[in-house]
Amino acid sequence: MSRSPHGLRVFCLLVGLLLAANSTEATLQFNFTPVGNLADMQAGNQGPAQQTLALDVIGAFGDAGDLWSAIFDDDITINVDIDFDNLGAGILGSTGNVTAQSNFAPTKTALINDVTSADDAMAVANFQPGTSLDMLTNDNSTTASPVIRDNDGSANNFALDVPRANLKALGILAGNDPASDGSISFSNLFSWDFDQTPSGGEFDLIGVAAHEIGHLMGFVSGVDVVDITGGVGPFAPTALDNFRVFSVLDLYRYSAASLAEPSQPATGAVLDLAFGGNPFFSIDGGATSLATFSTGSFNGIGRQASHWLDNLGQGIMDPTFGAGEVGVITALDIQAFDVIGYDLIPAPTCLVGDADCDGDVDISGDILPALSNFTGPGSFGKTRLEGDVQGDLVGTPTTNVPADGDVDVSDLLIMLSSFTGPLDEGGLGDPAEAGDPNIPDLIYNAATGEVILDPDGSSIIGYSLQNATNSFLPAGHTPILVGVTTSLTSQLEEAALAPGSGSIGLVFPTGLDLAGLQALLAVNQVSRSLGAPLVPFDLVVLGTPVPEPATWAMAALALVLLPLARAVRRRSPAGQFGQVRRSPSTATADR
């Protein structure tokens, strides 16, 4: 086995934005063990302040692991030694990846046996035949390091150099093997954020740790070994024929140059495992480019090959990261880890536009939350539950992987065009007290049952009013918004992009005082503007009568039924990374 340091430097620029949430179904586990200075801090040997800092650092690592555990459910434990110390000037952190040999043929078999997704099936159908790789790479026996076609069956063709964590995911190494799978250290000389809300001068430790964990999980390329041993690399010239070099991820690395080679394999295509060039990520034998790879620190564009190409916002595995940036695992990152052997958490499918995946596209469960989480176009790490349903044109699995990371008009249009109205369901919220000028008013006329929705000092673009006793009078409902409407004895709802106000008609029973009105309204929500949180209307009662006995009975019944309805349903609102200085490892001769 070899341990390969992977530095991380402060002249960082960019990664994407955050996505995933925790899932109770995930069995992918991380065992983070503080070592060195971090262990000393945790023990309190450096004082209470440093002990508190140690807990923040350890907690951030746990949160970073949770990002991956929310996506994959492989029944394995990845063991990581973590430290927090002075790493020298300009260095944010470093990662050491423990690898082992796994030959191409048995690795293919393991991947075939691990198919759990459509992408997996596509990937294994396009592997090269035989027991060794057919590839373009550099002949590093001379300083010129020319690109050659290498299919001679030597060690660098048949032996892969695979991170231990990746071997666990493939079932080649026991998932509970207790040995260390790698180490990650971060510098204590920089300002770190521990909850993914970094200010302009802070680095997102959770996001950066998630990136480094991604390398331990297998997002690495042997092209970095080719890069440091050829051309102007620090260990050039070093011939690599007798070493294990390439990773599982390298099985999906192609270029136009490799595809143009004559005498292509019977299945798949010639791989591009040379430094420089224009390599891309493909799971269908190079026919489709899904993303572009970086090309090497010394002989490429200056960023290590174990990353996506820089400055394209492709994912958490981009090579650069900036102060004030929030790290995000994207759908592209997830696709790459899926096809190298990790298994996605199974998820049910949902209706198109159904943000909360409850079987309908309605106002209260889908449209109003989308309005309250509205961001406009961009990358904000929004989840499906928050309203990011764009791309669901044929219905997609409900996961917290964002379609495009925002909640914008496109998401709302999908919901509006797919609107079904609610199923037979109830929900509960807490009515507001009257008097806040920044909250719209619900003005109820006790004598007539008329309800007027007044924006007060705000505006109204959506609302949801529900009761547990089927007491509304939907025949009298007059919409005030140009959008979608629900009119039922249990629900009165509207949502639109433009604001409105006025009388919604004689829709409530008469004779209620404020207590009776509060008892009636199981749900009372108003959306004031795009991106604003949902709030309850302020309640105003006009002409409150002395209640008749029947009214008291109705109010009492509502109060009795209120806890029962709550039991039925309660709605929940919803530095550059431094060089991988991997030393080539001699491969054993068995295949």
Looking at per-residue confidence, does 547 or 357 come out higher?
Answer: 357
For position 588, what pLDDT does the model report? 47
Please report the pLDDT score of residue 543 as a whole number: 75
Is the pLDDT assigned to residue 36 strictly greater than 80? yes
With a cut of 80, say whether residue 170 has pLDDT above it: yes
Residue 572 has what pLDDT? 27
Sign of the dihedral through C-alpha 548, 552, 555, 561 = negative
Q: Is the pLDDT of residue 556 over 50?
A: no
| Nearest CA-CA partner of 410 in 374, 385, 381, 386 | 374
Supply the pLDDT for residue 364: 87
pLDDT of 16 > 80? The answer is no
pLDDT digits (tens, 9 = 90+) for 576-586: 444 343 555 65
Give the integer Cα–Cα distance in Å for 369 and 219: 36
What does the pLDDT look like over 402-426, one tens digit per residue?
A: 467 788 888 888 888 788 888 644 3
**pLDDT band at 315; cut points 50, 70, 90:** very high
Show the tokens assigned to 128: 């090269």
Numbers of helices and strands, H then E, in the chain:
14, 24
Give tens-digit pLDDT for 316-360: 999 988 899 999 999 999 999 999 999 998 866 788 888 888 888
- The burial class, CB within 10 Å (0-12 / 13-18 / 19+), for 160 is buried
Band (pLDDT 50/70/90 cuts) for residue 377 is confident
CA geometry: angle 206, 210, 213, nearest 5 deg: 135
pLDDT score recorded for residue 347: 66
Distance CA 403, CA 25 (A): 21
CA atoms within 13 A on the CB side of 364: 27
Q: What is the mean pLDDT of the chain?
A: 85
Question: Whole-structure pTM over 0.85, yes or no?
Answer: no
Has residue 397 got a pLDDT over 50?
no
- Residue 364 CA: distances (Å) to CA of 256, 356, 377, 480: 50, 10, 23, 17
- Using DSSP bridges, classify how beta strands 502-506 and 450-454 pair: parallel, antiparallel or unpaired: antiparallel
Q: Which residues contact 181 (CB under 8 A, 6 or more apart)?
A: 78, 79, 80, 98, 163, 164, 165, 168, 216
Percent of the chain with pLDDT over 90: 67
Q: Tell me what pLDDT residue 313 has.
A: 92
User: Which pLDDT score, from 0 to 100, does residue 563 have?
Assistant: 33
Between 222 and 427, name the one with better pLDDT.
Answer: 222
Left, alpha or beta for 272 (phi > 0: left; psi -120 to 50: alpha)?
Answer: beta
* Distance in angstroms (rounded) separating the CA atoms of residues 10 and 91: 6
Q: Percent of the chain at pLDDT above 70?
A: 83
Residue 520 has pLDDT above 50, yes or no: yes
Q: What is the pLDDT of residue 384?
A: 85
Whether the CB-CB separation of 482 and 469 falls below 8 Å is answered with no
Q: How far is CA 245 from CA 44, 137, 157, 258, 527, in A?
A: 42, 11, 9, 18, 57
- Cβ-Cβ contacts under 8 Å for 482 (sequence gap 6 or more): 496, 498, 500
pLDDT band at 567 (very low <50, low <70, confident <90, very high): very low
**At 491, is the secondary structure helix, strand, or coil?**
strand
